[in-house]
Amino acid sequence: MLAWWLCSLLSWAVGAGVGAAALNTEALEGPNATAGSEYAFDFGSNWLNFIRKSQGPGDIPWHLRVEIAKRSLLASIQVGVVRDLSQVSTFIDVGCGSGLFSLAAVRLGAKSVVSFDLQKGSVDAARLLWDQEGRPKHWVVLQGSVLDFDFLNELPRADMVFAWGSLHHTGNVQRAMLNVESLLKPGGLLHMALYSTEFEPDAKFWDKHKQTYVSLQSEQGHQSPELMVNAYVFWQTHGAIDARLRGVERQLGRPLEPPEEYEWIAKELSRLNSEHALARGMDLWTDARDGLGGWPNERLEAIQIVDFARSAGLQIFSVDARMDGGPTGFNLLSSGGQVSLGQMWHAAGLRLESACGPYVLVDVGFPYNSNNNSDNNNDNNNEIACWSMDASSWSNFAEAASSLRLLEDGYFLGLSAGASHKDERFCQARGRYSHETSGIVFMTSDLSDPNTNGRSYQLLVPEGWPQRAECIGKERV
């Protein structure tokens, strides 16, 4: 009953705005769909409201949100046992949003923090936190766009650039990536969280909803956007809520009826919101508005990030693949030249460690076997072959969250697809691989034959993994 009610509510909310949204669909899909357009989502107001709301009475005290953000920031950059940012001379927060992670960087000891965002509401939110922090001289908040190269040229070069969930909302994610790379010092670290085509299903479906939401939001006094947000939150949480209500009914030995049922729903929503805050310090409804209204929005294949890294002289040293449709985190290091992973980590003062000790590279030799049922890798057949390599030492630990990573010529080969190669889409994309019980199934970066393309392939695994039980499922590279 609850699931039916939620689906009906979401359908009604979207349906209520179809007529209005249709008026602006062409503009939303056309060249005007940029971050500076009237059709862009008002990220700034959403984040300013979050800061004001979060500092009032609530389930999660403000100081705890800041501590959670500090922990989340350190976890996102994945540089082993680093406990603070005291060695960071300049930290730049690109598209700072609420400013919470800029504040986290300040509290973690970064010597200089620069925050900037295009939207005024976000700048106001960050400046509010800056003011509350005592207006520290080593923290600067600016209004500007990552697409404005002249603006970026006025900024200092940084040894850490943080762009979480912002570049794909600019309307030109490729240009945004190129521009943000220019902010790095040699040996600097760039963290980008971007939407990945591998891990966000039903992209067209969600883009249509984003367009509808933004179109309705532009109409003064229209109530459908908030109704859509509430429906979206209930859609995300109805499974947990329904399970909780059924558990309560079993304990009581009777069905719940209104208004008691509504009281339990409210309690469970409050609990889920608190649980949501424990991940990054955020708010369930704020993130729902951001996710549902976040337009413009672009997605990239992981191999496109690899291509960008190679052309820019960067090395991807870790990937945090989100299996829930959220942004995929990429950590890249600027080398100032082409060097090996080990040399780059050493030059940057990083020592990636796990419960099993440091990560190690394992060379993989020939042959690589075609994983198709027939020999499809020839000029007379358009079908592309998947390739497999033996990884019997790790076969019992194959899973979507596997710590194992595959490299081609020293560069990460996309990211683990998180799905079996039997998925019909797997062998149609460059640079995917899957850790399965039969071994490693993969596609090369240019769909060539790994037996003859002259490239080397290596596996990156934590030393001692998976022989030691404490290593299993705990480390992501």
**pLDDT per residue over 330-356, tens digit each?**
888 887 533 344 443 444 444 444 444
pLDDT tens sequence across 10-60: 444 444 333 333 323 333 333 333 444 456 889 999 999 999 999 988 778
Q: Is 476 within the bounds of a domain?
A: no
Tell me what percent of the residues of the chain surpass a pLDDT of 70: 69
Same domain, 68 and 111: yes
- Region of 206 (left: φ > 0; alpha: ψ -120 to 50; beta: rest) is alpha
Q: Is 318 within the bounds of a domain?
A: yes
Long-range CB contacts (within 8 A, 24+) of 343-347: 344/315, 344/317, 345/317, 347/187
Overall average pLDDT of the 157-169 stretch = 95
Overall average pLDDT of the 281-309 stretch = 87
Same domain, 61 and 150: yes
pLDDT at 27: 32
Q: Is 339 within the bounds of a domain?
A: no
Same domain, 194 and 225: no
Taking the C-alpha atoms of residue 435 and residue 404, their distance in angstroms, rounded to an integer, is 8
Same domain, 158 and 9: no
Same domain, 189 and 321: yes
CATH number at residue 57: 3.40.50.150
Same domain, 195 and 233: no
Q: Is it the case that residue 286 has pLDDT exceeding 80?
A: yes
Structure tokens belonging to residue 124: 């106001």
Last residue of a domain, one of 293, 309, 326: 293
Q: Which domain holds residue 60?
A: 43-199+299-334
Same domain, 129 and 189: yes
Q: Is 176 within the bounds of a domain?
A: yes
Structure tokens belonging to residue 267: 């309690």
Same domain, 219 and 102: no
pLDDT tens sequence across 93-105: 999 999 999 999 9
Same domain, 160 and 223: no
Mean pLDDT of the chain: 76
Same domain, 137 and 192: yes
Same domain, 283 and 369: no
- Write the burial class of residue 75 (CB in 10 Å: 0-12 exposed, 13-18 middle, 19+ buried): middle
- The reply to whether the predicted model has a pTM over 0.75 is yes
Q: How many domains does the chain have?
A: 3
